[in-house]
Chains A and B, each alone.
Chain A
């Protein structure tokens, strides 16, 4: 294809997105669109998969059967979300194996919040409330993104996600209505998860390299700073109901803007964790790599069995 022809196709493509038409896998798309989507959708899928680990840590120690089945169901949903997203990503021409390889080698990123440890049961509450809360704010606009398979996967994810946040908040509520020690545990979890949750919504707008392009392709509808403000505004009253304190001395309602003002975020910490120096980066990746390697014989055996059954069928027919 000549350069002029590509230019022409690109114009048609951009116009399609501007008209709110969806792009489907076999449609022509600029290479940069394909690569950006592979990067974002796979990061999203990896986050769902790695996100199971901090919570998996507490399944066997859940304080009651009710909490245990709920946590199990939540973690199973996350596996499901990872699978929807991997499938959507594969429609762009990358294989599942390549995607895993990118995660395991560290080439692909996942949400850095999962590199923090889950020290107490209250962390299950804080994760559901704050981490899933921030995820919902990030994900709802993606239900309308331009790439069809991603948008459809997100519709399904968002439908399931609200149970996650409610189960987390209920855990916090129970602890906050419990003994002083239990309430203290809830406060401690909030203290540890608050700032990482704010970072989860991404670098500030002036530092975010992909925002402009992503807005054009409707991979983003609001900027990171807008999403963060929305998260803070909706979460502060929820903390008030719990009767615990958000660990930010600068947090206060601003009558003029109609939003909460908040203190500076420690972006050095964020970049350290992104670069692999968070408390659990190594542990998370090695858990994934081990699961993949130790499962290899199961995958091979299932494939060998399927082939054998297929061969039997052919033999019978002939």
Chain B
């Protein structure tokens, strides 16, 4: 018997209207990209929720590891000078 092949998992991103970014909506199984696209339309946009869909096979996504969040995001933690509130300006100065 040959090894049984299941439909791979796809991640679905939908732009709800022009001017907005594609947002992750969920995932689904499909044999190929074309089927993933049609299934995504039926599963995630039954009520006009989208004007554009991206499908990406889940295995192509590289994700950061939450267990390493500490070290990974640490470089941004001590750089308060990246925020406008770090700078002390006189109250008379408006709109800056």
User: For residues 104 through 161 of chain A, which have their beta carbon under 8 Å from a beta carbon of chain B?
Assistant: 152-153, 156, 160
Which residues of the other chain, B, contact A96 by a CB distance below 8 angstroms?
6, 29
User: For residues 6 through 61 of chain B, which have their beta carbon under 8 Å from a beta carbon of chain A?
Assistant: 6-7, 9, 26-29, 31-32, 35, 42-43, 46-47
In the assembled complex, A77 has its CB within 8 A of some CB on chain B:
yes
Inter-chain contact A24/B32, CB cutoff 8 Å = no
Q: How far is the CB of B88 from chain A (nearest CB, A)?
A: 32
Inter-chain contact B31/A90, CB cutoff 8 Å = no
Inter-chain contact B35/A302, CB cutoff 8 Å = yes
Which residues of the other chain, A, contact B74 by a CB distance below 8 angstroms?
none
Which of B7, B43, B46 touches A302 (beta carbons < 8 Å)?
Answer: B7
Q: Within the assembled complex, what's the spacing in Å between the Cα atoms of A87 and B42?
A: 15
Which of B7, B9, B43, B65 touches A303 (beta carbons < 8 Å)?
Answer: B7
Using C-beta atoms within 8 Å of the partner chain, give the interface range for chain A.
Answer: 20 to 34
Q: Within the assembled complex, what's the spacing in Å between the Cα atoms of A153 and B9?
A: 17
Inter-chain contact A26/B6, CB cutoff 8 Å = no
Inter-chain contact A28/B67, CB cutoff 8 Å = yes
Q: Within the assembled complex, what's the spacing in Å between the Cα atoms of A165 and B5?
A: 39
Instruction: Decide if the interface of chain A is mainly helix, strand, loop or mixed.
Output: helix
Q: Which residue of A lies closest to B5 (CB)?
A: A303
In the assembled complex, B70 has its CB within 8 A of some CB on chain A:
no
Known: A83-B28, A84-B26. 7 other contacts (CB 8 A): A73-B46, A83-B43, A88-B26, A90-B27, A299-B7, A306-B31, A309-B32
A selection of 8 A-B contacts at a CB cut-off of 8 Å is: A28-B67, A73-B46, A87-B26, A97-B6, A160-B47, A299-B7, A306-B35, A309-B32
Q: Within the assembled complex, what's the spacing in Å between the Cα atoms of A246 and B71?
A: 61
In the assembled complex, A95 has its CB within 8 A of some CB on chain B:
yes
In the assembled complex, A206 has its CB within 8 A of some CB on chain B:
no
Which residues of the other chain, B, contact A303 by a CB distance below 8 angstroms?
5-7, 31
Q: Within the assembled complex, what's the spacing in Å between the Cα atoms of A83 and B66?
A: 26
Query: Chain B: how many interface residues by the 8 Å CB criterion?
Result: 19
Which of B5, B28, B66 touches A87 (beta carbons < 8 Å)?
Answer: B28
Q: Within the assembled complex, what's the spacing in Å between the Cα atoms of A160 and B45?
A: 12
Mark B residues whose CB is within 8 Å of A: 5-7, 9, 26-29, 31-32, 35, 42-43, 46-47, 63, 65-67
Q: Within the assembled complex, what's the spacing in Å between the Cα atoms of A26 and B32?
A: 26
Q: Within the assembled complex, what's the spacing in Å between the Cα atoms of A83 and B41?
A: 13
Which of A95, A97, A302 touches B31 (beta carbons < 8 Å)?
Answer: A302
Inter-chain contact B43/A27, CB cutoff 8 Å = no
Given contacts A77-B46, A97-B6, whether A24 and B66 have CB atoms under 8 Å apart is yes
Which of B6, B26, B66 touches A153 (beta carbons < 8 Å)?
Answer: B26
Inter-chain contact B46/A80, CB cutoff 8 Å = yes
Q: Within the assembled complex, what's the spacing in Å between the Cα atoms of A77 and B49?
A: 14
Inter-chain contact B27/A87, CB cutoff 8 Å = yes
Q: How far is the CB of A13 from chain B (nearest CB, A)?
A: 12
Q: Which residue of B lies closest to A76 (CB)?
A: B46
Interface string of A291-309 (1 = CB under 8 A from B): 0000000011011011101
Which of B7, B9, B27, B65 touches A26 (beta carbons < 8 Å)?
Answer: B65
Which residues of the other chain, B, contact A87 by a CB distance below 8 angstroms?
26-28
Q: Which residue of A lies closest to B26 (CB)?
A: A87
Which residues of the other chain, A, contact B27 by a CB distance below 8 angstroms?
87, 90
Q: How far is the CB of A4 from chain B (nearest CB, A)?
A: 18
Inter-chain contact A80/B43, CB cutoff 8 Å = yes
Q: Which residue of A lies closest to B11 (CB)?
A: A87
Inter-chain contact A306/B32, CB cutoff 8 Å = yes
Q: Within the assembled complex, what's the spacing in Å between the Cα atoms of A306 and B37?
A: 14
